[in-house]
Structure 1
Amino acid sequence: MARSSSESATPKPRKQRFGWVRQLAQAYKLTAKNDSLIGLLLAAVFVVVLAVFVTIGLWVDHPIYFTVVGLPFAVLAALIVFGRRAQKAAYASAEGQPGAAAAVLQTLKRGWTVTPGVAVTRQQDIVHRATGRAGVVLVGEGAPARLGPLLAQERKKLGRVAPDVPVYDFQAGQEEGQLSLHELQRKVAKLPRTLSPGQVDEIEKRLAALGSLNLPIPKGPLPRNMRPPRSMR
């Protein structure tokens, strides 16, 4: 028993214990390529938050205590700002890449099932589908003139297998009337949840019959090494 307990208490290798530091450094490098002001912004956030605590400390005659208390809050504020800027920079770098919209849908919170490439044209216009408690979301990438009929065709298919399910359609891209990747993520995330988990499961079973084209889709415009580690979040 003593041997097994000692084995379980063996500390993790140094690389594993400090892996989040390397991830954070890689995320910063990738963000800095698209956001040259990220360093100054993070430093300003850290200094301002810490200065607020120091000022309070001077006011109540406990500057050292409030400085120590303010340090983790300053770090946390800088990390929050960094996470948001890193996400925006990642979306900006992925704009215009085929399959970027599907990758954005795959970054949504749990409860969504994403099916990339449910429809495509010869000109490489493509439609992706996401199913969740908000209903069914169709997202098209390509020329607006061709995506209109393509999305309408997919809505008809959905009407035959799931007639009572809310259906939303969006176009992602840089043309007039289309949404940027960041706007797309916010739009879908804010959709009202009107279905129960059981209803979602039933809808997914019905939609499975429609299938997909199994097109190669990138794993996301926001690489894993650009996301702050869970321990820091």
Structure 2
Amino acid sequence: MASERAKELARKQKAEAKALKEAKKHSDNPSDWGTVRQLRESYKLAAQYKSSTPWILLACVLGCTAVGVVLGLLLDPMVMWIIVGFFGGLTLAMYVMQRVVKKAAFARAVDQPGGGEMALSMLDKKKWHYTAAVAVDRQMNCVHRAVGPGGLILIGDGKGAHNLLGAEAKRYKQVLYGVEVQTIMIGDKKGQVPLEDLTAHIKKLPKTLNKEQIEEIAYRLKGLDRMHSRVPLPKGPLPTSGNMKVSRRAMRG
């Protein structure tokens, strides 16, 4: 009897594992994809955004391989240099595709509600704490928040987010005594930061806080959040249709 139960349990576990594997295989969530599918979907996104991508990637591989052949003619052994050139070309092609994918994803996120969250998600989570949409208005303009070595930063996201950003900055200054509040407005106008440059811009800010100060401010902000209700914001600034999906891990490289 015990043996039959064990066999039945084993069959059930095997069936569940098979069902889970099948679900992941057909999942639209990039986090469920394997490496091969991530590369395939990233390539599709890059090629759709920039039609010349296949030729650029091919040029990277062939160009580096050609350099390997030349080095092989000058230095022995030739086979080794050809292999080095080929894999060097693959590495260069992957880097180029990553850059195109990142541009494509940011281009899709521009003007979408909460699009700035994508840029913030690419910050080093060991150094930075970020919270998306700490404030949202009726027009879906919103303000994001990041705390890290560069200080406490409020990011206005949306064409009409100026007033909301100003109001939030004033509120934070009144509550968080002794903490400097910096503001950034996402956009392409003078004094604004383009979405695709936001991550790099934040990383380059002068370091004003150490690890202990960051943790202390993050703790104080939790209390502030509990007192300030937030309007739900539609998730997913990344493309959500068909083969336009791409994982953020692939964007990071």
TM tier relative to shorter chain: 0.7 to 0.9
Q: Which of the residues 111, 118, 132 maps onto 2:134?
A: 118
* 1:140 partner letter: G
Structure 1 unpaired stretches of 5+ = 1-12
Q: Which has the higher contact order (CA 8 A, sep 6+)?
A: 1
The two structures have a TM-score, normalised by structure 1, of: 0.80
- What is the CA–CA distance in structure 2 between the aligned matches of 1:75 and 1:153, rounded to whole Å? 49
* 1:103 partner letter: M
Q: Which of the residues 124, 134, 157 maps onto 2:150?
A: 134
Q: Which of the residues 111, 114, 117 maps onto 1:102?
A: 117
Structure 2 unpaired stretches of 5+ = 1-20, 26-32, 240-244
User: Residues 63-212 of structure 1: matches in 2 within 5 Å?
Assistant: 63-110=78-125, 111-143=127-159, 146-174=160-188, 177-211=191-225
Q: Is the 8 A contact 1:112 1:131 kept in 2?
A: yes
Structure 1 residue ranges, 4+ long, deviating more than 6 angstroms after superposition: none
Judged with a 3 Å threshold, the aligned counterparts in structure 2 of structure 1 residues 94 and 149 are, in CA distance, closer, same or farther, namely: closer
Could you say which residue in structure 1 is the equivalent of 2:18?
none
Deviation at 1:176, TM superposition (A): 5.7
Q: Which of the residues 21, 24, 32 maps onto 2:39?
A: 24
SS in 2 for 1:210: helix
Deviation at 1:228, TM superposition (A): 3.3
Judged with a 3 Å threshold, the aligned counterparts in structure 2 of structure 1 residues 165 and 54 are, in CA distance, closer, same or farther, namely: farther
- What is the CA–CA distance in structure 1 between the aligned matches of 2:185 and 2:71, rounded to whole Å? 49
- What is the CA–CA distance in structure 2 between the aligned matches of 1:177 and 1:229, rounded to whole Å? 27
* Percent identity (aligned): 35
Deviation at 1:135, TM superposition (A): 1.0
The two structures have a TM-score, normalised by structure 2, of: 0.74
Deviations 1:176-198 (A, max 9, x none): 65332102222112223331221
Deviation at 1:209, TM superposition (A): 2.3
SS in 2 for 1:97: coil
Q: Is the 8 A contact 1:127 1:140 kept in 2?
A: yes
- What is the CA–CA distance in structure 1 between the aligned matches of 2:139 and 2:213, rounded to whole Å? 35
Q: Is the 8 A contact 1:136 1:166 kept in 2?
A: yes
* 2:67 partner letter: V
Judged with a 3 Å threshold, the aligned counterparts in structure 2 of structure 1 residues 86 and 229 are, in CA distance, closer, same or farther, namely: closer
Q: Is the 8 A contact 1:101 1:141 kept in 2?
A: yes
